[in-house]
């Protein structure tokens, strides 16, 4: 059923959207438009239904709406990544027509384009309001993300590994919820504690263990990966290790924060 569902969505894009060469550019615009739409809708809904929103400073309201964008993107790209990597047969080793490193489709390319549109929009906001929305590490993270995702989108190379990395976005909603709870004075609540535990587990699975699996998959398919263009090989062998180091560093901070929160709750 998953394969049939994938094929039906793929056919839908082919028939009712645009020919494959135009999908990357249109999908980036869709991603940017979606960011603007979510930002404006979140501003209107928050002002109407959250009393604490009006008490925030201008910069806090901007970050509040910005985090809504990243949450929606995280939910979208995590769902697409999990589906394409684990439930569809797009990147299966059983495909005989091409290496797994060269497999792509209009659906996978479209989703990557939406993600590129988000990263460009978010990077623009980070730079515009720097450093209020994030420091240098966020700029580096987004630059690496844009380069890797855009390359996979435009060339079709290494989409499997790109989606494996994008699964790590599953931690974003929890991180954002933590900020919302902290900003609205709910840092001492039970919800804050439970969310911290969920973040710890999600980070361990999606940003530590999954990266180990990614490196193992690269090792098993090394003969295929080395056939990629030199830029693709650099991104495949260079970007994941850098992100992995950043993930481990952030994981250490999350672990220390969780320990402090648990100690206070006792």
* Per-residue pLDDT of the chain in tens (266 residues, 90 and over written 9): 444 444 454 454 444 444 467 889 999 999 999 999 999 999 999 999 998 999 999 999 999 999 999 999 999 999 999 999 999 989 988 765 668 998 999 999 999 999 999 999 999 999 999 999 999 989 988 998 999 999 999 999 999 999 999 999 999 999 999 999 999 999 889 999 999 999 999 999 999 999 999 999 999 999 999 989 999 999 999 989 988 998 999 999 999 988 888 887 77
Burial class (CB in 10 A: 0-12, 13-18, 19+), 186: middle
Report whether 65 contacts 42 (CB < 8 A).
yes
Q: What is the largest CA-CA distance in the chain?
A: 59
pLDDT of residue 188: 86
Report whether 207 contacts 247 (CB < 8 A).
yes
pLDDT of residue 97: 61
Report whether 43 contacts 65 (CB < 8 A).
yes
Distance CA 30, CA 9 (A): 17
Distance CA 243, CA 206 (A): 12
Distance CA 87, CA 91 (A): 10
Residue matched to tokens 């672990």: 255
Residues 6+ apart with CB under 8 A from 157: 101, 102, 151, 228, 229, 232
pLDDT of residue 265: 74
């Amino acid at each position: 059923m998953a394969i049939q569902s994938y094929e039906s969505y793929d056919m839908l894009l082919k028939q009712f959207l645009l020919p494959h060469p135009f999908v990357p550019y249109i999908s980036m615009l869709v991603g940017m438009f979606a960011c603007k739409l979510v930002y404006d809708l979140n501003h209107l809904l928050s002002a109407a239904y959250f009393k604490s929103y009006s008490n925030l400073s201008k910069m806090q309201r901007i970050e509040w709406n910005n985090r809504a964008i990243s949450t929606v993107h995280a939910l979208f790209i995590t769902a697409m990544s999990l589906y394409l990597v684990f439930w569809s047969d797009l990147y299966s080793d059983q495909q005989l027509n091409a290496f797994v490193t060269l497999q792509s489709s209009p659906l996978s390319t479209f989703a990557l384009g939406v993600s590129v549109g988000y990263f460009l929009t978010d990077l623009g906001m980070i730079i515009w309001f720097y450093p209020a929305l994030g420091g240098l590490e966020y700029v580096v993270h987004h630059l690496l993300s844009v380069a890797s995702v855009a390359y996979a989108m435009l060339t079709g190379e290494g989409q499997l590994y790109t989606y494996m990395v994008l699964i790590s976005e599953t931690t974003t909603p929890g991180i954002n919820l933590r900020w919302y709870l902290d900003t609205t004075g709910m840092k001492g609540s039970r919800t804050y504690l439970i969310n911290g535990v969920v973040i710890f587990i999600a980070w361990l699975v999606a940003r530590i263990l999954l990266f180990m699996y990614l490196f193992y998959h690269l090792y098993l398919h090394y003969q295929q990966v080395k056939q990629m263009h030199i830029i693709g090989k650099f991104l495949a062998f260079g970007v994941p290790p850098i992100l992995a180091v950043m993930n481990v560093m952030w994981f250490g901070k999350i672990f220390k924060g969780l320990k402090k929160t648990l100690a206070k709750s006792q």
